[in-house]
Every structure is written in structure tokens, then in C-alpha cells.
Amino acid sequence: MAAEDTSKVSEAYPMNGGDGPNSYAKNSTYQRAVVVVAKELLNKAIVEKLDKDIKLSFNTFHIADLGCSVGPNTFYSVENILEAVQSKYRIQGKNSQIPEFQVFFNDHSRNDFNMLFKSLPQNRGYFAVGVPGSFHGRVFPSASIHIAHSSYAIQWLSRVPEAVVDRDSSAWNKGRIHYSNSTDEVIRAHETQYNKDMECFLHSRAQEIVHGGLMILMIPGRPDGTPHSHSLANITLQFLGLCLKDMARKGVVSEDKVDSFNIPMYTMSPQELKAAIERNGCFSIEIMSDLPHALVSDTISISELLASHLRAGLEGIVKQQFGEEILDELFRLYRKKCEENASIFESETAVNFLVVLRRTAD
Amino acid sequence: MAAEDTSKVSEAYPMNGGDGPNSYAKNSTYQRAVVVVAKELLNKAIVEKLDKDIKLSFNTFHIADLGCSVGPNTFYSVENILEAVQSKYRIQGKNSQIPEFQVFFNDHSRNDFNMLFKSLPQNRGYFAVGVPGSFHGRVFPSASIHIAHSSYAIQWLSRVPEAVVDRDSSAWNKGRIHYSNSTDEVIRAHETQYNKDMECFLHSRAQEIVHGGLMILMIPGRPDGTPHSHSLANITLQFLGLCLKDMARKGVVSEDKVDSFNIPMYTMSPQELKAAIERNGCFSIEIMSDLPHALVSDTISISELLASHLRAGLEGIVKQQFGEEILDELFRLYRKKCEENASIFESETAVNFLVVLRRTAD
């Protein structure tokens, strides 16, 4: 893929499809653990914050999962939301009015929807549909969604900022694959892109979510005040860049390809997100809180976990730039790099945060 | 695949996915031609028969295509319906009230939805979603669909009747792959299955379609009073059976596999469908008429057309029983068989019919 192309994609890179050993389906344990710790918070949010007289469409409650990937995490999240809505009806003494549910699984049109559909839970309590398209634009009719949910997805930008892959620009991100350990210009270009994308995201959702409906976001972020370079989510990406540079030095990949490769992922702080929500003006912030750290498993080392987690999420974009043949070696090196730097993962700061927004009346 | 399995699938065989030379996408010219000739009838039906005060869900009009396959025909049909609904609003002087449209593309969960989503028209005037699941059961929430459409799909039964693949049954369909040239017992087993399936189909749609909404069906059928053995749609399947028997004689495929292979497709007559609709009782028949014969192209012979058409629709089910390696040879033989019997295609009777049903109030 030519360098120029990387900056032009507005349809981003799908997670690793299928159900093979490196698939997203089998390597999203961490995201799953976050869903589990969030369950209680989510239940409370829905019971307390969802408009109790929310207007239904022919007695059907519409739930959307934005950036759903191929499962199975999306199914756990949806199940949790559905149970919370049902329990809200019960608490209100409206057992007999519990609606039917229709769940809209959304992701890029290049997502593996065939895999998603094949793995839908057999005895699900909802009608399932797949919605192809970028959540940076409109994907649903006006006022048609009661709860929109998105977990570990809105950190993806819609594209790599143009200047970052332009060799003649002062914001050219030479020799790095992420903005977080780069120059101020590169960081600014990403901040600008983030602001644009978040504006589009919130504007679209404001049109799609019914008044009194909720948007629930789980986001891997950086704590307020932490520089981009010190955020743990970013450091894991920087490590991948170092491994690619090592491979370029050995002649396994071309230096040019490393120079033109950028991962369009932005690690936002709660403050930045808050500012974007306020600029949009259509949502009230009902909850914005850190998620407790997820205990994944002690049978797997942190390096192993990070390598499988990163591979599942980034294999698509890496393959497109460097070809399939480098994948095994790259993620082997990556795991080694993590092992060598294990102490960083204890000292640097990470935060996962949960945000619950309510669509206010215009 | 073992003989026993054939009778147990309730999820049937998807059309040939992808966009290769034998794909459904590239070999559904005939179905396309039917859609084109039906356009005017369809427009008239919607303008005249759709309830003018139909209740919308948040100002969104919901169209479903049942058995959509991978496109492109489904996109033409949907576009035609959408334009007809818009023109109805204009005729009523309700230009400013033209709703948003959401289109539900439904097919079995094994349909190639990835391909469908990639080939969605760029500038479509609707929000698109994919709905996995058999239309013999519920796939949508109650009263959520305004127009349901299905073209060349409801001739598929949900399964091969059990007795037909049971060697100990008097309805065992030995040596044939279709009921139409078989014994009375085999025909009766298929009639029974058709009646059950149509009951489930109509019952599900009665729950899903809004009062005053329409169901539009295009069906390859046999004229009233024509025996199954003489219907053209059936003869094309009988020819495929003869080719398989030839291959069995030559030892290319096993006779056992031919004996246990059955194509679960039922060619209904208008009268049979009418009876099923009356038994269901939730729909009024607004239109039931023959579709004019579709002129496909004179640059392609009828045998070529039939072979490509049949391959696109049946490759999946044939491959599952006999393996991929026989496909080229089988459809070459099939084309030859059609050429040798070209006169039959002029003398025997075929009918495509259009049915427009209206969901009546309970």
C-alpha cells in the first residue's frame, strides 16, 4: 500500500475476523474483563438515568453497539444492557409492559459480519441486525435509538491526519508509528483530528438517539494532565513502533514503510471528552468515572496478554502496510519488548473510563 | 456430508457468495429482468394499496427484503419500492412529510453479508441493515415493517421432508433430486412441507407487518392445474438430476449420494398460495397476477442462461453433497442437456407471478 493511501482512508481497519488463534474473537479477553467490571455501573446508570417514560417505536426498544467487531464481547455488553432495561421496567412495576428488543450491531462495512452473525447467541432475547458504516457519520434514522453503547472503539480516529504522512510538512511523523512519542506538530494534528471526529460522532448520535435516551461509552484513556507520551495505552503502541524500527534496521521491512505508517488511535482524557460534549450541547453528562482495573487472569503474563490483545486489534492495519509475512515475527518481538520493559507497566498511568450521556431535549 | 444430514437442515443453502464468475451477483440476470418488468406493477400497487395514513416509527419507513442474497437485484427492488413510496407521498401533496427510510436486508445467517455490505450503493437514500435468520420464523419485532418484499425466495422450503431421505419410507425419493418427477408419496410429502412452511412464513409476517402495510412477493410458480412434472421451473431441476445420474453411471459421483440428495424447492401455483393466505387470515389479496415474460438478452442462449442461473442458485447445496470438484463438469453437462432439449422450453408452461398482500386489521 502506498504511503499516500494511509492518510486517505476514512473507513478504518477492521479487527481480526474469523475465529482462528489470532482472531479478535479469541484475543479480546482484556476488553471482556472491562465489560464485566462495568456491568454493575451500567445497570445502575440505566435504572437511574434512562428516561422512565421514554418513547418506544411500536413497543420495541432499540439498542445499538457502535464498533461491535465480531463478538463475543458485544454480546455480553448487549445482554447486560437488555437485563438492566428489563429490571428498570420491573422496578417501575411495569412487568407487563416490557418491550421487545432490537439490537443494532454496527461496525465498518469491512468488519467480518458473517462471523458476527454466525456467533450470535442462540437463545438471545432480541432481534439482531448488523449495520455497516462508520460511526463518525450517520448510521441510523433520526431519533431511532434508545441506548447507544460503544466499548473500546471511539479511540479510533476516522483517518490519519494528512500532514502526518506528508514528507514536506513540518508535521511529518518520520520514524514513528504513533503521535504520542512525536513532535508537538504531530500531536496537534492528531488533537485536531480527534476534535473533528468527536464533533461528527456526537453530532450524528445527537440526531439518532431519542430524547431521554442514553449513550454509554467505555474508553481507554489517559488521566487528566498526563502527557500523551506517558499514557500506558500509548506506550504499548510506541513499543510496536520500536519493534518495527528494529525490523527495518535488519532489512526485514523497508524504512519508508515505517515512516509512512501511522496508527490512527487517539488516547483522550476525560477533560478532552467533556469539552467535546459541551461543545456539542445535546447531551448531559450523567456519569463520568474511572473503571476499576480489570483482573484478567493470572495464568497469562502481561506481555502475552498485551501481544495477543494488540495483534487482534491491529493485525489488519499492520498487514495492509507490511504484508502478512511479518506478523508472527513482529508480535514475537513485541512480546519480548514488553517483557524487557515490564516495570513500565507498573509505574505508568492508565485509565479506562465509563461515560454515560443522556440526550437532552433540544 | 452424510445422507441423514440433508433432511435435518432448517437453515438452507445460501446463494453463491463473492463476486467471482459463478457468483449469484454475476449470474442473476434472469431475476433482474423480472424485477425490471415488475417495476411498473409494483409502483402502482404501492401508490394504490399502501395505507395512506400508515403509522410510522419516529418518521421512519421500514422496508424489508426477505431472502435478499448478496445483491445487486435486492438493491434494484428496494430502490423501486422506495421511489414508489416517495411518489405516493408526492401525489398526496405531502412532499414535506416524506420520511427517512431504513431497509432491512434479510437472509440466512450463512448468506454472504460481507459481500452484500461491500456492494451497497454509495448514494443510497436509506439506512441499510442486515438481518440474519430464516424467514420461516420471526426476524423482526412486532408491527415494525411497512413493506416486506421477497423476490425468487419463497420457493425454497425450510428443509427436505424427512420421509423423502428415509430408505425405509414409502416416500423415499430414490434416484431423483426433486419431487416433481417422483411418486405421489414424494409429491405429497413436499406439499405438506410447503403448507407448513407457508403457514410459518405468513404467521411471522402477520406479526411483523404494520396494519395497512404491504407484502410484495415475486414467485416462480406453475400455472393452476399444471402437474408438478410439467412445470418449466421443475423441469430445469429434473435435468440437473439426470446429469447427476449420468455422472453416477460413469462413477464420478456415488449413486448413494444421488439417492440421498434432494433440492428443497417447491413450485407453487397461484391457487395453492391463495389457499395458504386464506387459511392465515391476516392479509387481503390486493394483486395476484402473472408477470410478463422477461426478455433477458439475445446475446446469450437459453441453455447458457439456465446453466449460469442454476449454478448461482444451487452451487452451495450441490457442493455440500458432492464436493466442489464436480461443479464445472456438472454444469457443462447441464448446459448440454438443455441444448438437446431446447424444444421443451418452448412447449412447457412457466409462470412468474406477483402477489401484493395487505395486512388487514385483526
Tens of pLDDT, residues A103-124? 999 999 999 999 999 999 999 9
Of A59, A118, A141, Cβ closest to residue B142: A59
Q: Is the pLDDT of residue A3 over 50?
A: no
Confidence band of A41 (pLDDT split at 50, 70, 90):
confident
Q: Is the pLDDT of residue A49 over 60?
A: yes
Optimal mutation site among A127, A142, A146, A210, interface B, most CBs of chain B within 10 A: A127
Cα A339 to its chain centre, rounded Å, is 25
**Average pLDDT of the residues in A81-101:** 94
Q: Is the pLDDT of residue B9 over 60?
A: no
User: Which residues of chain A does B58 touch, with a Cβ-Cβ cutoff of 8 Å?
Assistant: 55, 57, 141-144, 210
Residue A313 is predicted with a pLDDT of 83
Grid coordinates representing B100?
Answer: 427517512
Average predicted confidence (pLDDT) for chain B? 88
Cβ–Cβ under 8 Å, residues B311 and B331? yes
User: Which residues of chain A does B212 touch, with a Cβ-Cβ cutoff of 8 Å?
Assistant: none
CB contact under 8 A, A144 and B110: no
Residue of A nearest to B207 (CA): A58
Of A100, A139, A210, Cβ closest to residue B127: A139
User: Which residues of chain A does B55 touch, with a Cβ-Cβ cutoff of 8 Å?
Assistant: 58
Cβ–Cβ under 8 Å, residues B239 and B348? no
For residue A352, the distance in angstroms to the closest alpha carbon of chain B comes to 31
pTM for this model (two decimals): 0.90
Cβ–Cβ under 8 Å, residues A144 and A210? yes
Residue B12 is predicted with a pLDDT of 52
Residue A26 is predicted with a pLDDT of 59
Cβ–Cβ under 8 Å, residues A76 and A124? no
Q: What is the dihedral angle through the alpha carbons of B91, B93, B97, B103, rounded to the nearest 10 degrees?
A: 0
Q: Is the pLDDT of residue A345 over 90?
A: no
Q: Is the pLDDT of residue A273 over 80?
A: yes
For residue B229, the distance in angstroms to the closest alpha carbon of chain A comes to 37
How many C-beta neighbours within 10 Å does residue B225 have? 8
Residue B186 is predicted with a pLDDT of 95
- Taking the C-alpha atoms of residue A141 and residue B99, their distance in angstroms, rounded to an integer, is 10
For residue B34, the distance in angstroms to the closest alpha carbon of chain A comes to 28
**Average pLDDT of the residues in B262-270:** 95
Cβ–Cβ under 8 Å, residues B102 and B67? no
User: Which residues of chain A does B139 touch, with a Cβ-Cβ cutoff of 8 Å?
Assistant: 127
- Taking the C-alpha atoms of residue B255 and residue A221, their distance in angstroms, rounded to an integer, is 64
Grid coordinates representing B177?
Answer: 433430486
* Separation in Å, CA B86 to CA A138, B51, B129: 21, 14, 20
Q: What is the dihedral angle through the alpha carbons of A64, A68, A71, A76, rounded to the nearest 10 degrees?
A: -40
Per DSSP, the three-state class of A54 is: coil
| Fold exhibited by the domain A3-359 | Rossmann fold (3.40.50)
Structure ipTM: 0.88
Residues of B with CB under 8 A from a CB of A: 55, 57-60, 100-102, 104, 109-110, 112-114, 117-118, 120, 127-133, 138-144, 210
Q: Is the pLDDT of residue A102 over 90?
A: yes
Pick left, alpha or beta for residue A18 (phi over 0 → left; psi -120 to 50 → alpha; otherwise beta): left
Of A100, A118, A142, Cβ closest to residue B58: A142
Q: Is the pLDDT of residue A37 over 90?
A: no
**Average pLDDT of the residues in B271-290:** 96
**Average pLDDT of the residues in A260-267:** 95
CB contact under 8 A, A129 and B129: yes
CB contact under 8 A, B131 and A131: no
Cβ–Cβ under 8 Å, residues B142 and A60? yes
Strand partners, B354: B218, B289
User: Which residues of chain B does A60 touch, with a Cβ-Cβ cutoff of 8 Å?
Assistant: 57, 141-142, 144
Of B55, B132, B141, Cβ closest to residue A117: B132
Q: Is the pLDDT of residue B219 over 70?
A: yes
User: Which residues of chain B does A120 touch, with a Cβ-Cβ cutoff of 8 Å?
Assistant: 109, 132
Residue B7 is predicted with a pLDDT of 34
Range with the poorest average pLDDT among A26-30, A54-58, B124-128:
A26-30
Per DSSP, the three-state class of B106 is: strand
Q: Which residue did the predictor score with more confidence, B320 or A308? A: B320
- Taking the C-alpha atoms of residue A45 and residue A35, their distance in angstroms, rounded to an integer, is 14
pLDDT tens digits along A182-229: 999 999 999 999 999 999 999 999 999 999 999 999 999 999 999 999
User: Which residues of chain A does B59 touch, with a Cβ-Cβ cutoff of 8 Å?
Assistant: 141-143
For residue B323, the distance in angstroms to the closest alpha carbon of chain A comes to 22
CB contact under 8 A, B128 and A129: no
User: Which residues of chain A does B109 touch, with a Cβ-Cβ cutoff of 8 Å?
Assistant: 117-118, 120
| Percent composition of chain A: helix, strand, coil (DSSP 3-state, to 5) | 45, 15, 35
CB contact under 8 A, B128 and A132: yes
- Chain A to chain B, count of Cβ pairs less than 8 Å apart? 97
- Domain boundaries along the sequence of chain A: 3-359
Per DSSP, the three-state class of A246 is: helix
Confidence band of B10 (pLDDT split at 50, 70, 90):
very low
pLDDT tens digits along B90-143: 999 999 999 999 999 999 999 999 999 999 999 999 999 999 999 999 999 999
